[in-house]
């Protein structure tokens, strides 16, 4: 018998195109979870959000309407796809898409990447991580945090823990 890890390197929303044409049950379906992307990649230098100057929030309304109204038209185009209210129930409904797809084929599920960039507001990041990790644990989804010693991490470049709270969330 063999074991295959099918790492889709895709977001949950793209899993609907998956077909298990191999008929094999020894496959682990792996997905990435960065929802909402504007939140998890807030002000990341390689994104079109790098110069975005608006407060973001989790849980609740991602961007308050008063703050949205003050954005330039260009910035509104960046944030429009992410506007809405996010909480544990919303995140779980997004993860449920992956659970349904894995269940359809009798596959185990693994989140191969998730996390928040270091410019995401701290308290909101912790709330998001608590919710996402609890969703994974409550639904028996294995997970891997992206990453441990850079912009999303909990260690410095020498591997020394710089964010014990995040490490505790991941390992408790």
- Give the model's confidence band at 116: pLDDT under 50 very low, under 70 low, under 90 confident, else very high: very high
What's the chain's average pLDDT? 89
Residue in 67, 89, 72 with CA at minimum distance from that of residue 134:
89
Cα dihedral across residues 157, 32, 131, 88: positive or negative: positive
Which residues neighbour 134 within 8 Å (Cβ) at sequence distance 6 or greater? 88
Residue 62 vs residues 35, 78, 83, 117: alpha-carbon distances, Å: 11, 13, 6, 16
How much is the pTM? Answer: 0.88
pLDDT at residue number 5 = 52
Cα end-to-end span (Å), the chain: 33
Q: Which of 21-25, 32-36, 49-53, 102-106 has the lowest mean pLDDT?
A: 21-25
| Percent of the chain's residues with pLDDT above 70 | 85
- The whole-number pLDDT of residue 25 equals 66
Residue 106 binned pLDDT confidence (cut-offs 50, 70, 90) = confident
For residue 51, is pLDDT > 70?
yes
Top pLDDT among 11 and 113 is at 113
- Write the CB contacts of 149 (distance below 8 Å, at least 6 apart in sequence): 155, 156, 157, 158, 159
- Supply the pLDDT for residue 24: 64
């Amino acid at each position: 018998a063999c074991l295959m890890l099918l790492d889709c390197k895709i977001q949950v929303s793209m899993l609907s195109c998956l077909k298990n044409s191999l008929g094999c049950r020894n496959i682990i379906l792996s997905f990435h979870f960065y929802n909402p992307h504007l939140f998890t990649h807030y002000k990341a230098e390689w994104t079109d959000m790098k110069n975005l100057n608006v407060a973001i929030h989790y849980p609740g309304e991602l961007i308050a309407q008063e703050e949205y109204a003050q954005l330039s038209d260009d910035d509104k185009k960046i944030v429009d796809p992410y506007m809405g209210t996010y909480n544990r129930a919303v995140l779980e409904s997004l993860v449920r898409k992956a659970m349904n797809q894995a269940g359809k084929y009798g596959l185990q599920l693994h989140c191969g990447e998730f996390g928040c960039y270091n410019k995401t507001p701290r308290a909101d990041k912790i709330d998001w991580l608590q919710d996402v990790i609890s969703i994974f644990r409550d639904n028996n989804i294995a997970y891997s945090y992206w990453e441990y010693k850079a912009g999303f991490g909990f260690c410095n470049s020498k591997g020394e823990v710089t964010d014990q709270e995040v490490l505790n969330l991941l390992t408790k």
